[in-house]
Structure 1
Amino acid sequence: MNTNEQMIAEIEDHLNSVQTLMAPTFLSKIEQAATLIIETISNGKKLLLFGNGGSASDAQHIAAEFTGRYVKERRGLPAIALTTDTSALTAIGNDYGFASVFSRQVEALAQPGDLVIGISTSGNSENVVAGLMEAKNRGCGLIGFTGENGGMVSVISNITLNVNSSTTARVQEMHILVGHLLCSAVDRMFAPEN
């Protein structure tokens, strides 16, 4: 397979993954997640997001869309990516182990009624699962972004946005698309009418 053929195959795989997001059951889950985000913010609570690697970047990207803006002008919305504080990550990782880097921050920052979003392409990242468990124990709502079979993240989350793929790149591509769909729904609710 030459380079062109390989690129076409990957683009086709991407498009097939996008098609799965349009299934009524998946669209319903996105709508439920949007409603939960809107309710959380409307109740004066915040979002906490985290993941590893590309999922860490997705957590930061989505949080930035809320605190800054997505498309429409609106007030900044409370969202924090727990992947951005290198001092906290390295101190907690050094003192307690990498499995605790998110749960310890959730312990410090989460309040009952906050919404915690854990992103794991496998659904089984130990530190993401631990962070979500800590959030559950603190009375927070839980949304999981996963791939494959959803893993432990799907077991403990209130809503799981499970991309039906075992290819990490496709799962991550769909996660950011889903994140943008959520941002769009939030914009429609909080942006003043133009």
Structure 2
Amino acid sequence: MAARPKLHYPNGRGRMESVRWVLAAAGVEISSNSEFLFSGNHLLFQQVPMVEIDGMKLVQTRCILHYIAEKHHLFGKDLKERTLIDMYVEGTLDLLELLIMHPFLKPEDQQKEVVNMAQKAIIRYFPVFEKVLRNHGQNFLVGNQLSLADVILLQTILALEEKIPNILSAFPFLQVNRMVYWKTAEPGSKKKPPPDEIYVRTVYNIFMP
């Protein structure tokens, strides 16, 4: 039996959360390590996330996501589908990055950034996916099965809903498909809680000593 992938990252969401979600959607059990080995040759580029999987130590979030998605049939059936999935993922990750960085802003800037995220989601990103779903006629963004694009979109929607509960009010197709994605991906207990002061302080102590 193959060893479980081992995830090296602080005990919180950050850039590893997308990896956790994709592994959960693939039904893969994981182990985690929050003790980092920045000395020696343990981390290529001295960076996390790092995932030990199939005898490799992978870094760079997009590389990790692509490998897992390809391995577990979440990356389309041909080059055209993979390219569409990759395009949708890249766009969604741009929005998700704002959520990842939000806890590290000064308190007086956090509420302004919530407004900024809401505007970008409603004006720039969600209309794209609403149109894709409406025109595609399927429950998923690409093809007729769950893909990496759906998983990352679900993760981002749910994280935004924690801050803006009615964020999908003007997007009926996304509302319907959010439930489809949730049922199919079933991240359940794999989902880390929202970042708190302890997580923020831990990240600062590790990366900004």
Whether TM-score is above 0.5 comes out as no
TM-score (norm 1): 0.30
Greater strand share, structure number? 1
Higher RCO by CA contacts (8 Å cutoff, separation 6 or greater): 2
